[in-house]
């Protein structure tokens, strides 16, 4: 099992520390943000998957919060250094993303976390928007122990049928891109195939309701409840 010696941290508190690292994936190195809880562990692990903006401060902040709750977190930089600040830029980066490679890099992030001496062998995925859809697709291709999907587009039936990992889906009632009808269809399929799941659609919440860096859509009440559900889901299926 691998051990990490932390260099000067990107962030540090008495409950966690974090830095950028490189981890191996399919013959190349992928950058990522590694956040560690304080203490010797062992701890369960979580792969945190970016929105279409890239590995921005919001994702790092959520990784820090999860680490402070006792999870070892790795957020892969699926754009390999590129970030966007405008929707048109983000759209171009998302469209250029090799989805199969991204799924492989997410899977490799989980394998890397499992190789660390202070992890328990339990790995969950959490993703937002584009990252939520990638979390579902990764779980369909490479089963993990738990998935939390924040407003990621539900999978088509054929791909969804391969999910056996417990799925927590968190959506906004006013999400114009992901109507409640397709979320409900996804939930019905998970029920029919016996996949453990819980789906929450928050009244009055828009797409990206969890992102406090976007005040035009941030919904504090929905974000707080979704965070509570996320921690409970990971504690149930990953341990704490």
Catalytic site residue from 145, 175, 197, 219: 175
Measure Cα distances from 227 to 56, 97, 103, 125, 222 in Å. Answer: 19, 28, 24, 14, 8
Q: 13-22 b/e with 16+ CB inside 10 Å = b?
A: eeebbbbebe
Is 129 tagged catalytic?
yes
Give the count of beta carbons closer than 10 Å to the beta carbon of residue 171: 28
What strands lie across the sheet with 197-202, from one edge to the other?
11-12, 16-25, 28-37, 72-76, 43-49, 119-128, 146-150, 167-172, 197-202
Is 149 tagged catalytic?
no
Catalytic site residue from 58, 64, 129, 145: 129
Give the count of beta carbons closer than 10 Å to the beta carbon of residue 232: 12
> Backbone dihedral region of 26: left (phi > 0), alpha (psi from -120 to 50 degrees) or beta?
left
Angle, helix 99-115 to helix 130-141, in steps of 10 degrees: 70
> What is the separation, in whole angstroms, between the first and last Cα of the chain?
20
The catalytic residues are: 129, 175, 207
């Amino acid at each position: 099992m691998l051990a990490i010696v932390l260099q000067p941290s990107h962030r540090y508190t008495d409950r966690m520390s974090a830095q950028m690292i490189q981890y191996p994936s399919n013959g190349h190195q992928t950058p990522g943000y590694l956040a560690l809880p304080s203490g010797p562990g062992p701890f369960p692990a979580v792969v945190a998957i970016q929105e279409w903006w890239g590995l921005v401060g919001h994702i790092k902040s959520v990784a820090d919060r999860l680490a402070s709750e006792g999870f070892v977190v790795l957020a892969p930089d699926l754009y390999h250094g590129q970030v966007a600040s405008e929707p048109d830029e983000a759209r171009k980066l998302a469209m250029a993303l090799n989805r199969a490679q991204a799924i492989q890099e997410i899977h490799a992030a989980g394998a890397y976390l499992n190789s660390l001496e202070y992890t328990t062998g339990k790995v969950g995925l959490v993703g937002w928007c584009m990252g939520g859809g990638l979390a579902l697709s990764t779980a369909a291709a490479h089963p993990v122990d738990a998935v939390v999907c924040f407003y990621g587009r539900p999978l088509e039936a054929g791909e969804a049928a391969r999910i056996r990992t417990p799925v927590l889906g968190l959506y906004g009632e006013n999400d114009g891109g992901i109507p409640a009808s397709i979320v409900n269809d996804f939930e019905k399929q998970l029920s029919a195939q016996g996949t453990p799941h819980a789906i929450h659609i928050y009244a009055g919440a828009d797409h990206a309701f969890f992102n406090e860096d976007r005040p035009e859509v941030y919904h504090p009440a929905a974000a707080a409840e979704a965070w509570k559900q996320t921690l409970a889901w990971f504690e149930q299926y990953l341990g704490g």
